[in-house]
Chain A
Amino acid sequence: MSADERIIEAREIAKTFPGGVVALDRFTLAVRRGEVVVIIIGPSGSGKSTFLRCLNGLEEIDGGSIVIDGIPLDHHRKNRLLIRQEVGMVFQSFNLFPHMTVRENIDLAQIRVRKKTRTDAAETTMSLLAKVGITEKADRYPHELSGGQQQRVAIARALAMSPKVMLFDEATSALDPEMIGEVLDVMRTLAAEGMTMVVVTHEMGFAREAGDRIVFMENGRIVEEGETERFFAAPREERTHAFLGQIL
Protein backbone atom coordinates (compact mmCIF):
# COMPACT_ATOMS: atom_id res chain seq x y z
CA MET A 1 0.00 0.00 0.00
CA SER A 2 1.15 3.53 -0.68
CA ALA A 3 2.09 5.95 2.06
CA ASP A 4 -1.00 7.95 1.29
CA GLU A 5 -3.32 5.07 2.02
CA ARG A 6 -1.83 4.35 5.40
CA ILE A 7 -3.53 6.17 8.22
CA ILE A 8 -1.60 4.44 10.98
CA GLU A 9 2.01 3.55 10.61
CA ALA A 10 3.78 2.02 13.57
CA ARG A 11 7.37 1.02 12.92
CA GLU A 12 9.39 -1.20 15.20
CA ILE A 13 7.89 0.24 18.35
CA ALA A 14 9.29 -0.99 21.62
CA LYS A 15 7.84 -0.67 25.08
CA THR A 16 9.18 -2.14 28.26
CA PHE A 17 7.45 -1.54 31.57
CA PRO A 18 9.47 -0.57 34.65
CA GLY A 19 9.20 -4.09 36.03
CA GLY A 20 11.09 -5.36 32.98
CA VAL A 21 8.02 -6.78 31.24
CA VAL A 22 8.38 -6.40 27.48
CA ALA A 23 5.00 -5.27 26.21
CA LEU A 24 5.98 -4.48 22.64
CA ASP A 25 9.01 -5.91 20.96
CA ARG A 26 9.81 -4.12 17.68
CA PHE A 27 6.16 -4.16 16.78
CA THR A 28 5.35 -3.02 13.24
CA LEU A 29 1.86 -2.51 11.89
CA ALA A 30 0.29 -0.32 9.21
CA VAL A 31 -3.42 0.27 8.85
CA ARG A 32 -5.18 1.46 5.69
CA ARG A 33 -7.92 4.04 5.66
CA GLY A 34 -11.26 2.36 6.31
CA GLU A 35 -9.67 -0.89 7.37
CA VAL A 36 -10.83 -2.83 10.41
CA VAL A 37 -7.87 -4.53 12.06
CA VAL A 38 -8.65 -6.91 14.86
CA ILE A 39 -5.85 -7.73 17.25
CA ILE A 40 -6.27 -10.95 19.17
CA ILE A 41 -3.99 -11.94 21.92
CA GLY A 42 -2.67 -15.29 23.01
CA PRO A 43 -3.41 -16.70 26.45
CA SER A 44 -0.18 -15.39 27.95
CA GLY A 45 -0.75 -12.00 26.39
CA SER A 46 1.19 -9.43 28.32
CA GLY A 47 0.84 -5.75 27.53
CA LYS A 48 -2.59 -6.49 26.10
CA SER A 49 -3.67 -3.05 25.15
CA THR A 50 -0.32 -1.33 25.25
CA PHE A 51 -0.20 -0.96 21.48
CA LEU A 52 -3.51 0.94 21.40
CA ARG A 53 -2.43 3.11 24.29
CA CYS A 54 0.79 3.98 22.53
CA LEU A 55 -1.12 5.04 19.42
CA ASN A 56 -2.75 7.99 21.16
CA GLY A 57 0.09 8.82 23.50
CA LEU A 58 -1.34 7.33 26.71
CA GLU A 59 1.89 5.38 26.95
CA GLU A 60 5.31 6.61 25.90
CA ILE A 61 7.14 4.37 23.48
CA ASP A 62 10.76 3.51 24.19
CA GLY A 63 11.75 3.13 20.57
CA GLY A 64 10.46 3.13 17.00
CA SER A 65 8.07 5.59 15.43
CA ILE A 66 4.34 6.18 15.08
CA VAL A 67 2.77 8.31 12.36
CA ILE A 68 -0.96 8.90 12.28
CA ASP A 69 -2.59 10.52 9.27
CA GLY A 70 0.74 12.05 8.35
CA ILE A 71 1.34 13.48 11.84
CA PRO A 72 4.31 12.03 13.71
CA LEU A 73 3.70 11.20 17.37
CA ASP A 74 6.81 12.92 18.63
CA HIS A 75 7.63 15.26 21.46
CA HIS A 76 5.89 18.26 19.94
CA ARG A 77 2.95 19.12 22.08
CA LYS A 78 0.91 20.30 19.15
CA ASN A 79 1.32 17.05 17.23
CA ARG A 80 0.39 14.98 20.23
CA LEU A 81 -2.71 17.05 20.89
CA LEU A 82 -3.70 16.87 17.23
CA ILE A 83 -3.35 13.09 17.20
CA ARG A 84 -5.46 12.73 20.35
CA GLN A 85 -8.16 14.78 18.69
CA GLU A 86 -8.16 12.61 15.55
CA VAL A 87 -8.06 9.28 17.34
CA GLY A 88 -11.06 8.14 19.36
CA MET A 89 -10.71 5.52 22.07
CA VAL A 90 -13.14 3.23 23.85
CA PHE A 91 -11.98 1.67 27.12
CA GLN A 92 -12.73 -1.63 28.79
CA SER A 93 -14.09 0.14 31.86
CA PHE A 94 -16.11 2.78 29.92
CA ASN A 95 -14.66 5.69 31.92
CA LEU A 96 -17.68 7.92 31.53
CA PHE A 97 -17.51 11.10 33.59
CA PRO A 98 -19.77 10.31 36.57
CA HIS A 99 -20.54 13.92 37.44
CA MET A 100 -22.03 14.66 34.03
CA THR A 101 -25.21 13.47 32.35
CA VAL A 102 -24.98 11.34 29.23
CA ARG A 103 -25.62 14.43 27.12
CA GLU A 104 -22.92 16.45 28.92
CA ASN A 105 -20.43 13.60 28.52
CA ILE A 106 -20.88 13.71 24.76
CA ASP A 107 -21.09 17.51 24.51
CA LEU A 108 -17.91 18.20 26.46
CA ALA A 109 -15.18 17.66 23.89
CA GLN A 110 -17.28 19.06 21.04
CA ILE A 111 -17.65 22.35 22.86
CA ARG A 112 -14.24 22.56 24.58
CA VAL A 113 -12.01 21.02 21.93
CA ARG A 114 -13.87 21.40 18.63
CA LYS A 115 -15.25 24.79 19.77
CA LYS A 116 -18.72 24.04 18.49
CA THR A 117 -21.70 26.09 19.64
CA ARG A 118 -23.99 24.45 22.19
CA THR A 119 -26.76 24.09 19.62
CA ASP A 120 -24.47 22.41 17.11
CA ALA A 121 -23.08 20.11 19.77
CA ALA A 122 -26.55 19.21 21.01
CA GLU A 123 -27.60 18.27 17.51
CA THR A 124 -24.59 16.00 17.00
CA THR A 125 -25.08 14.48 20.44
CA MET A 126 -28.70 13.56 19.78
CA SER A 127 -27.94 12.05 16.40
CA LEU A 128 -25.11 9.98 17.93
CA LEU A 129 -27.36 8.82 20.76
CA ALA A 130 -29.88 7.77 18.13
CA LYS A 131 -27.14 5.87 16.36
CA VAL A 132 -26.21 3.91 19.48
CA GLY A 133 -29.87 3.54 20.37
CA ILE A 134 -30.27 5.30 23.72
CA THR A 135 -31.81 8.71 23.07
CA GLU A 136 -34.15 8.25 26.04
CA LYS A 137 -31.22 8.25 28.50
CA ALA A 138 -29.79 11.61 27.42
CA ASP A 139 -30.40 13.31 30.75
CA ARG A 140 -29.46 10.41 33.00
CA TYR A 141 -26.21 10.05 34.89
CA PRO A 142 -23.85 7.18 34.00
CA HIS A 143 -24.52 5.23 37.21
CA GLU A 144 -28.18 4.98 36.21
CA LEU A 145 -27.26 3.04 33.06
CA SER A 146 -26.41 -0.61 32.50
CA GLY A 147 -22.88 -1.55 31.49
CA GLY A 148 -23.86 -2.06 27.87
CA GLN A 149 -25.58 1.31 27.76
CA GLN A 150 -22.59 3.00 29.36
CA GLN A 151 -20.27 1.52 26.77
CA ARG A 152 -22.54 2.66 23.94
CA VAL A 153 -22.49 6.18 25.40
CA ALA A 154 -18.68 5.96 25.57
CA ILE A 155 -18.62 5.06 21.87
CA ALA A 156 -20.91 8.00 21.07
CA ARG A 157 -18.67 10.26 23.14
CA ALA A 158 -15.60 9.22 21.15
CA LEU A 159 -17.47 9.58 17.84
CA ALA A 160 -18.54 13.11 18.75
CA MET A 161 -15.01 14.29 17.97
CA SER A 162 -15.46 12.93 14.39
CA PRO A 163 -12.24 10.94 14.73
CA LYS A 164 -10.43 9.47 11.75
CA VAL A 165 -9.55 6.34 13.68
CA MET A 166 -11.32 4.51 16.47
CA LEU A 167 -9.46 2.33 18.95
CA PHE A 168 -11.38 -0.28 20.93
CA ASP A 169 -9.53 -1.57 23.97
CA GLU A 170 -11.31 -4.79 24.99
CA ALA A 171 -14.55 -2.86 24.83
CA THR A 172 -16.74 -5.82 25.78
CA SER A 173 -14.54 -7.57 28.35
CA ALA A 174 -16.13 -5.91 31.38
CA LEU A 175 -19.69 -6.56 30.24
CA ASP A 176 -22.20 -9.19 31.29
CA PRO A 177 -22.69 -11.70 28.46
CA GLU A 178 -26.19 -10.49 27.60
CA MET A 179 -24.91 -6.96 27.00
CA ILE A 180 -22.00 -7.80 24.74
CA GLY A 181 -24.25 -8.10 21.70
CA GLU A 182 -25.60 -4.55 21.83
CA VAL A 183 -22.10 -3.09 21.93
CA LEU A 184 -20.80 -5.34 19.16
CA ASP A 185 -23.78 -4.31 17.03
CA VAL A 186 -22.75 -0.68 17.27
CA MET A 187 -19.17 -1.62 16.40
CA ARG A 188 -20.34 -3.64 13.37
CA THR A 189 -22.37 -0.67 12.14
CA LEU A 190 -19.32 1.56 12.43
CA ALA A 191 -17.18 -0.94 10.54
CA ALA A 192 -19.78 -1.17 7.79
CA GLU A 193 -19.79 2.61 7.48
CA GLY A 194 -16.09 2.56 6.65
CA MET A 195 -14.62 3.77 9.93
CA THR A 196 -10.96 2.87 10.38
CA MET A 197 -10.85 0.71 13.49
CA VAL A 198 -8.22 -1.06 15.52
CA VAL A 199 -9.90 -3.48 17.87
CA VAL A 200 -8.33 -5.52 20.66
CA THR A 201 -10.82 -8.24 21.54
CA HIS A 202 -11.46 -11.82 22.54
CA GLU A 203 -14.70 -11.96 20.52
CA MET A 204 -13.82 -14.32 17.70
CA GLY A 205 -17.27 -14.06 16.13
CA PHE A 206 -16.89 -10.32 15.80
CA ALA A 207 -13.33 -10.64 14.50
CA ARG A 208 -14.47 -13.02 11.78
CA GLU A 209 -17.45 -11.00 10.75
CA ALA A 210 -16.27 -7.39 10.94
CA GLY A 211 -12.49 -7.68 10.70
CA ASP A 212 -10.68 -7.08 7.43
CA ARG A 213 -7.41 -8.26 8.86
CA ILE A 214 -6.48 -10.24 11.94
CA VAL A 215 -3.28 -9.81 13.90
CA PHE A 216 -2.39 -12.53 16.35
CA MET A 217 -0.06 -11.28 18.99
CA GLU A 218 1.88 -12.85 21.80
CA ASN A 219 4.61 -11.58 24.10
CA GLY A 220 4.75 -8.23 22.37
CA ARG A 221 5.33 -9.68 18.91
CA ILE A 222 3.15 -10.48 15.96
CA VAL A 223 2.89 -14.22 15.62
CA GLU A 224 0.82 -14.08 12.48
CA GLU A 225 -1.31 -11.64 10.54
CA GLY A 226 -3.49 -11.97 7.49
CA GLU A 227 -6.79 -11.38 5.74
CA THR A 228 -9.59 -12.56 8.00
CA GLU A 229 -10.79 -15.44 5.86
CA ARG A 230 -7.34 -16.82 5.20
CA PHE A 231 -6.32 -16.36 8.84
CA PHE A 232 -9.16 -18.45 10.22
CA ALA A 233 -9.31 -20.98 7.39
CA ALA A 234 -5.63 -21.66 7.00
CA PRO A 235 -3.39 -20.35 9.75
CA ARG A 236 0.26 -20.66 8.77
CA GLU A 237 1.93 -20.68 12.16
CA GLU A 238 1.70 -23.64 14.45
CA ARG A 239 1.13 -21.35 17.44
CA THR A 240 -1.89 -19.78 15.74
CA HIS A 241 -3.20 -23.19 14.83
CA ALA A 242 -3.02 -24.35 18.41
CA PHE A 243 -4.60 -21.19 19.73
CA LEU A 244 -7.51 -21.26 17.29
CA GLY A 245 -7.99 -24.95 17.96
CA GLN A 246 -8.38 -24.21 21.63
CA ILE A 247 -10.94 -21.46 21.40
CA LEU A 248 -13.01 -22.30 18.34
Chain B
Amino acid sequence: MTKNKIRFTPLDAVLIVLMLAAGLFLVRRIGVDLNYRWQWPVTLQYLVRMDGGSWTAGSLAQGFLTTVKLSLWATALATLLGTILGLMRVSHSLFDRLVAGSYVEMVRNLPPLVLVFIVYFFIGDRIMTLLGIEGLIRSASPATQAVLTFLFAPPARLSGFFAGLATLVLYEAAYITEIVRAGIQSIEQGQWEAAHALGLSRRQQLRYVILPQALQRILPALAGQLISTIKDSAIVSVISIPELTFQGLELMSATYLTFEIWITITALYFILTFTFSIGVRRLESSMQTKSSAG
Protein backbone atom coordinates (compact mmCIF):
# COMPACT_ATOMS: atom_id res chain seq x y z
CA MET B 1 0.00 0.00 0.00
CA THR B 2 1.28 3.45 -0.85
CA LYS B 3 0.75 6.14 1.72
CA ASN B 4 -0.99 9.27 0.53
CA LYS B 5 0.94 12.32 1.54
CA ILE B 6 -1.11 14.76 3.55
CA ARG B 7 -0.80 18.22 2.04
CA PHE B 8 -1.98 21.28 3.89
CA THR B 9 -3.46 23.74 1.40
CA PRO B 10 -4.74 27.30 1.95
CA LEU B 11 -8.24 25.91 1.55
CA ASP B 12 -7.71 23.68 4.59
CA ALA B 13 -6.61 26.69 6.62
CA VAL B 14 -9.73 28.59 5.61
CA LEU B 15 -11.95 25.66 6.53
CA ILE B 16 -10.35 25.25 9.94
CA VAL B 17 -10.74 28.94 10.72
CA LEU B 18 -14.39 28.81 9.64
CA MET B 19 -15.09 25.80 11.83
CA LEU B 20 -13.46 27.43 14.85
CA ALA B 21 -15.48 30.57 14.28
CA ALA B 22 -18.71 28.58 14.04
CA GLY B 23 -17.87 26.79 17.28
CA LEU B 24 -17.13 29.99 19.13
CA PHE B 25 -20.28 31.58 17.76
CA LEU B 26 -22.36 28.67 19.03
CA VAL B 27 -20.85 28.85 22.50
CA ARG B 28 -21.49 32.58 22.65
CA ARG B 29 -25.06 32.26 21.46
CA ILE B 30 -25.74 29.68 24.17
CA GLY B 31 -24.33 32.07 26.76
CA VAL B 32 -26.13 35.17 25.50
CA ASP B 33 -29.44 34.00 24.03
CA LEU B 34 -30.17 31.01 26.29
CA ASN B 35 -28.78 32.87 29.23
CA TYR B 36 -26.68 29.87 30.03
CA ARG B 37 -23.89 30.43 32.54
CA TRP B 38 -20.88 28.29 31.77
CA GLN B 39 -19.44 26.97 35.02
CA TRP B 40 -16.43 24.95 34.00
CA PRO B 41 -14.49 25.26 37.29
CA VAL B 42 -17.40 23.72 39.20
CA THR B 43 -17.78 20.94 36.65
CA LEU B 44 -14.11 20.06 36.75
CA GLN B 45 -14.40 19.59 40.49
CA TYR B 46 -16.52 16.55 39.81
CA LEU B 47 -13.59 15.17 37.92
CA VAL B 48 -10.86 15.77 40.47
CA ARG B 49 -10.81 18.07 43.46
CA MET B 50 -8.44 19.12 46.22
CA ASP B 51 -9.70 17.50 49.39
CA GLY B 52 -7.74 18.20 52.57
CA GLY B 53 -4.45 18.63 50.74
CA SER B 54 -4.69 15.61 48.45
CA TRP B 55 -6.33 15.03 45.07
CA THR B 56 -9.55 13.03 45.22
CA ALA B 57 -11.46 11.52 42.34
CA GLY B 58 -14.83 13.16 41.81
CA SER B 59 -17.95 11.24 40.87
CA LEU B 60 -17.28 11.60 37.13
CA ALA B 61 -13.77 10.18 37.50
CA GLN B 62 -15.15 7.30 39.54
CA GLY B 63 -17.73 6.67 36.85
CA PHE B 64 -14.99 6.75 34.25
CA LEU B 65 -13.05 4.15 36.22
CA THR B 66 -16.11 1.91 36.46
CA THR B 67 -16.65 2.23 32.71
CA VAL B 68 -13.01 1.29 32.10
CA LYS B 69 -13.29 -1.77 34.35
CA LEU B 70 -16.60 -2.78 32.82
CA SER B 71 -15.26 -2.39 29.28
CA LEU B 72 -12.02 -4.25 29.90
CA TRP B 73 -13.74 -7.21 31.50
CA ALA B 74 -16.54 -7.26 28.96
CA THR B 75 -14.05 -7.06 26.09
CA ALA B 76 -11.92 -9.89 27.41
CA LEU B 77 -14.80 -12.19 28.31
CA ALA B 78 -16.84 -11.43 25.17
CA THR B 79 -13.82 -12.20 23.00
CA LEU B 80 -13.34 -15.49 24.82
CA LEU B 81 -17.01 -16.48 24.61
CA GLY B 82 -17.30 -15.20 21.03
CA THR B 83 -14.27 -17.25 19.95
CA ILE B 84 -15.65 -20.42 21.52
CA LEU B 85 -19.07 -19.87 19.94
CA GLY B 86 -17.45 -18.90 16.62
CA LEU B 87 -15.58 -22.21 16.64
CA MET B 88 -18.84 -23.99 17.38
CA ARG B 89 -20.42 -22.25 14.38
CA VAL B 90 -17.92 -23.97 12.06
CA SER B 91 -17.82 -27.25 13.98
CA HIS B 92 -18.51 -30.59 12.31
CA SER B 93 -21.08 -31.31 14.99
CA LEU B 94 -24.62 -30.29 14.13
CA PHE B 95 -25.41 -29.86 17.82
CA ASP B 96 -22.61 -27.32 18.27
CA ARG B 97 -23.70 -25.40 15.21
CA LEU B 98 -27.32 -25.33 16.36
CA VAL B 99 -26.48 -24.14 19.86
CA ALA B 100 -24.18 -21.36 18.67
CA GLY B 101 -26.50 -20.41 15.82
CA SER B 102 -29.57 -20.10 18.01
CA TYR B 103 -27.63 -18.08 20.53
CA VAL B 104 -26.49 -15.60 17.94
CA GLU B 105 -29.94 -15.23 16.40
CA MET B 106 -31.60 -14.80 19.77
CA VAL B 107 -29.26 -12.16 21.13
CA ARG B 108 -28.97 -10.21 17.92
CA ASN B 109 -32.73 -9.99 17.55
CA LEU B 110 -33.32 -8.69 21.05
CA PRO B 111 -33.10 -5.01 22.05
CA PRO B 112 -30.04 -4.70 24.30
CA LEU B 113 -32.09 -2.72 26.78
CA VAL B 114 -34.41 -5.69 27.24
CA LEU B 115 -31.41 -7.96 27.64
CA VAL B 116 -30.13 -5.73 30.44
CA PHE B 117 -33.38 -6.11 32.35
CA ILE B 118 -33.62 -9.84 31.76
CA VAL B 119 -30.12 -10.41 33.05
CA TYR B 120 -30.52 -7.98 35.93
CA PHE B 121 -33.83 -9.24 37.27
CA PHE B 122 -33.29 -12.93 36.66
CA ILE B 123 -29.60 -13.50 37.07
CA GLY B 124 -28.55 -10.54 39.18
CA ASP B 125 -31.50 -10.50 41.52
CA ARG B 126 -32.55 -14.13 41.81
CA ILE B 127 -29.83 -16.50 40.84
CA MET B 128 -26.98 -14.71 42.60
CA THR B 129 -29.03 -14.74 45.80
CA LEU B 130 -30.13 -18.31 45.20
CA LEU B 131 -26.55 -19.49 44.87
CA GLY B 132 -25.63 -17.61 48.02
CA ILE B 133 -22.94 -15.66 46.22
CA GLU B 134 -23.88 -12.43 47.93
CA GLY B 135 -23.53 -13.95 51.36
CA LEU B 136 -20.25 -15.47 50.35
CA ILE B 137 -18.92 -12.08 49.35
CA ARG B 138 -20.16 -10.40 52.51
CA SER B 139 -18.47 -12.96 54.74
CA ALA B 140 -15.20 -12.82 52.79
CA SER B 141 -12.04 -11.52 54.42
CA PRO B 142 -11.24 -7.80 54.07
CA ALA B 143 -8.29 -8.66 51.83
CA THR B 144 -10.53 -10.59 49.42
CA GLN B 145 -13.05 -7.77 49.49
CA ALA B 146 -10.33 -5.29 48.67
CA VAL B 147 -9.23 -7.36 45.68
CA LEU B 148 -12.82 -7.67 44.47
CA THR B 149 -13.30 -3.93 44.85
CA PHE B 150 -10.16 -3.24 42.88
CA LEU B 151 -11.03 -5.67 40.08
CA PHE B 152 -14.78 -5.14 39.89
CA ALA B 153 -16.80 -3.03 42.33
CA PRO B 154 -17.30 -2.53 46.08
CA PRO B 155 -19.04 -5.54 47.74
CA ALA B 156 -22.40 -3.80 48.04
CA ARG B 157 -22.52 -3.12 44.30
CA LEU B 158 -20.97 -6.35 43.16
CA SER B 159 -24.11 -8.20 42.08
CA GLY B 160 -25.27 -5.22 40.03
CA PHE B 161 -21.86 -4.93 38.43
CA PHE B 162 -21.87 -8.61 37.52
CA ALA B 163 -25.35 -8.36 36.03
CA GLY B 164 -24.22 -5.41 33.91
CA LEU B 165 -21.04 -7.19 32.93
CA ALA B 166 -22.91 -10.37 32.02
CA THR B 167 -25.28 -8.41 29.78
CA LEU B 168 -22.46 -6.75 27.92
CA VAL B 169 -20.58 -10.03 27.52
CA LEU B 170 -23.65 -11.90 26.26
CA TYR B 171 -24.56 -9.11 23.89
CA GLU B 172 -21.15 -8.44 22.36
CA ALA B 173 -20.23 -12.14 22.22
CA ALA B 174 -23.02 -12.73 19.70
CA TYR B 175 -21.45 -10.25 17.30
CA ILE B 176 -17.92 -11.49 17.94
CA THR B 177 -19.14 -15.02 17.21
CA GLU B 178 -20.14 -13.94 13.73
CA ILE B 179 -16.86 -12.09 13.19
CA VAL B 180 -14.86 -15.15 14.22
CA ARG B 181 -17.00 -17.44 12.05
CA ALA B 182 -16.53 -15.21 9.02
CA GLY B 183 -12.79 -15.03 9.69
CA ILE B 184 -12.41 -18.78 9.86
CA GLN B 185 -14.52 -19.32 6.76
CA SER B 186 -12.45 -16.79 4.83
CA ILE B 187 -9.35 -18.99 5.05
CA GLU B 188 -8.75 -20.90 1.82
CA GLN B 189 -9.75 -24.55 1.79
CA GLY B 190 -6.19 -25.41 0.73
CA GLN B 191 -4.86 -24.35 4.13
CA TRP B 192 -7.13 -26.85 5.87
CA GLU B 193 -6.18 -29.51 3.37
CA ALA B 194 -2.44 -28.96 3.72
CA ALA B 195 -2.69 -29.13 7.51
CA HIS B 196 -4.90 -32.19 7.23
CA ALA B 197 -2.43 -33.94 4.92
CA LEU B 198 0.39 -33.27 7.39
CA GLY B 199 -1.47 -35.35 9.97
CA LEU B 200 -2.49 -32.50 12.26
CA SER B 201 -5.64 -33.14 14.27
CA ARG B 202 -8.56 -30.76 13.72
CA ARG B 203 -7.73 -28.95 16.93
CA GLN B 204 -4.13 -28.50 15.81
CA GLN B 205 -5.22 -27.38 12.35
CA LEU B 206 -7.27 -24.63 13.95
CA ARG B 207 -4.72 -23.63 16.52
CA TYR B 208 -1.60 -23.49 14.39
CA VAL B 209 -2.83 -22.87 10.87
CA ILE B 210 -6.33 -21.44 10.66
CA LEU B 211 -6.81 -19.22 13.72
CA PRO B 212 -3.56 -17.25 13.46
CA GLN B 213 -4.46 -16.31 9.89
CA ALA B 214 -8.10 -15.67 10.72
CA LEU B 215 -7.14 -13.43 13.64
CA GLN B 216 -5.07 -11.23 11.39
CA ARG B 217 -7.97 -10.85 8.98
CA ILE B 218 -10.63 -10.12 11.58
CA LEU B 219 -8.62 -7.71 13.70
CA PRO B 220 -10.18 -4.55 12.20
CA ALA B 221 -13.72 -5.90 12.64
CA LEU B 222 -12.91 -7.15 16.11
CA ALA B 223 -11.50 -3.78 17.11
CA GLY B 224 -14.66 -2.10 15.88
CA GLN B 225 -16.75 -4.45 17.98
CA LEU B 226 -14.60 -3.91 21.06
CA ILE B 227 -14.97 -0.15 20.70
CA SER B 228 -18.71 -0.78 20.47
CA THR B 229 -18.44 -2.64 23.75
CA ILE B 230 -17.08 0.47 25.43
CA LYS B 231 -19.85 2.58 23.94
CA ASP B 232 -22.57 0.04 24.70
CA SER B 233 -21.47 -0.08 28.32
CA ALA B 234 -23.49 3.13 28.78
CA ILE B 235 -26.65 1.05 28.60
CA VAL B 236 -26.09 -0.58 31.97
CA SER B 237 -26.72 2.82 33.56
CA VAL B 238 -30.41 1.81 33.56
CA ILE B 239 -29.72 -0.72 36.30
CA SER B 240 -27.93 1.88 38.43
CA ILE B 241 -24.39 0.77 37.90
CA PRO B 242 -22.39 3.90 38.68
CA GLU B 243 -20.54 4.07 35.39
CA LEU B 244 -19.86 7.24 33.46
CA THR B 245 -23.31 7.79 31.94
CA PHE B 246 -25.13 7.00 35.19
CA GLN B 247 -22.89 9.39 37.12
CA GLY B 248 -23.55 12.03 34.51
CA LEU B 249 -27.32 11.62 34.84
CA GLU B 250 -27.13 11.81 38.62
CA LEU B 251 -24.91 14.85 38.58
CA MET B 252 -27.07 16.61 36.05
CA SER B 253 -30.21 16.24 38.12
CA ALA B 254 -28.34 17.61 41.13
CA THR B 255 -26.51 20.51 39.49
CA TYR B 256 -28.24 21.29 36.18
CA LEU B 257 -24.83 21.77 34.56
CA THR B 258 -26.18 20.02 31.45
CA PHE B 259 -23.79 21.25 28.79
CA GLU B 260 -20.59 21.02 30.81
CA ILE B 261 -21.32 17.56 32.12
CA TRP B 262 -22.21 16.01 28.78
CA ILE B 263 -19.31 17.68 27.02
CA THR B 264 -16.99 16.27 29.69
CA ILE B 265 -18.53 12.83 29.35
CA THR B 266 -18.23 12.95 25.57
CA ALA B 267 -14.56 13.80 25.93
CA LEU B 268 -13.98 10.97 28.41
CA TYR B 269 -15.64 8.35 26.18
CA PHE B 270 -13.70 9.64 23.22
CA ILE B 271 -10.40 9.40 25.09
CA LEU B 272 -11.16 5.80 25.99
CA THR B 273 -12.26 4.62 22.54
CA PHE B 274 -9.64 6.59 20.66
CA THR B 275 -6.80 5.22 22.79
CA PHE B 276 -8.14 1.77 22.04
CA SER B 277 -8.28 2.41 18.28
CA ILE B 278 -4.71 3.64 18.21
CA GLY B 279 -3.55 0.59 20.15
CA VAL B 280 -5.28 -1.74 17.72
CA ARG B 281 -3.90 0.09 14.71
CA ARG B 282 -0.39 -0.33 16.09
CA LEU B 283 -0.95 -4.03 16.69
CA GLU B 284 -2.36 -4.43 13.20
CA SER B 285 0.55 -2.80 11.43
CA SER B 286 3.06 -4.77 13.48
CA MET B 287 1.31 -7.99 12.48
CA GLN B 288 1.28 -6.88 8.87
CA THR B 289 5.01 -6.27 8.71
CA LYS B 290 5.65 -9.69 10.20
CA SER B 291 3.95 -11.44 7.34
CA SER B 292 1.98 -9.84 4.59
CA ALA B 293 -0.03 -12.81 3.48
CA GLY B 294 0.34 -13.35 -0.23
Residues of A whose CB lies within 8 Å of any CB of B are 56-58, 81, 84-85, 87-89, 91, 93, 95-100, 108-109, 112-113, 141-143, 154, 157-158, 161
Contacts and interface: CB of A to CB of B under 8 A. Distances in A.
Contacts of A158: 197-198
B176 to A, nearest CB: 21
A130 B195 CA distance: 23
Given A58-B193, A142-B294, A98 B200 contact: no
A143 B292 contact: yes
B200 A99 contact: no
A157 B198 contact: yes
Interface string B262-294: 000000000000000000000000000011111
A88 B198 CA distance: 7
Most B CB contacts (10 A, CB to CB) among A85, A98, A154, A161 go to A98
Given A84-B196, A99-B290, A108-B198, 11 more contacts: A57-B196, A81-B201, A84-B197, A84-B199, A97-B191, A99-B291, A108-B208, A109-B198, A112-B208, A113-B200, A143-B294
Contact of B213 (A56, A98, A109, A141): A98
B204 interface: yes
B27 to A, nearest CB: 51
9 contacts: A56-B196, A81-B201, A84-B197, A91-B193, A97-B191, A98-B213, A99-B212, A141-B292, A157-B198
A81 B190 contact: no
Contacts of A96: 194
Contacts of A58: 193, 196-197
Contact of A99 (B195, B199, B293): B293
Contacts of A93: 190
Contact of A161 (B188, B199, B292): B199
B216 interface: yes
Contacts of B193: 58, 91, 95
B100 to A, nearest CB: 23
A235 to B, nearest CB: 33
Interface in B54-90: none
Contacts of A95: 188, 190-191, 193-194
Given A84-B199, A88-B197, A161-B198, A98 B293 contact: yes
A98 B287 CA distance: 12
A99 to B, nearest CB: 5
Interface string B93-108: 0000000000000000
B194 A97 contact: yes
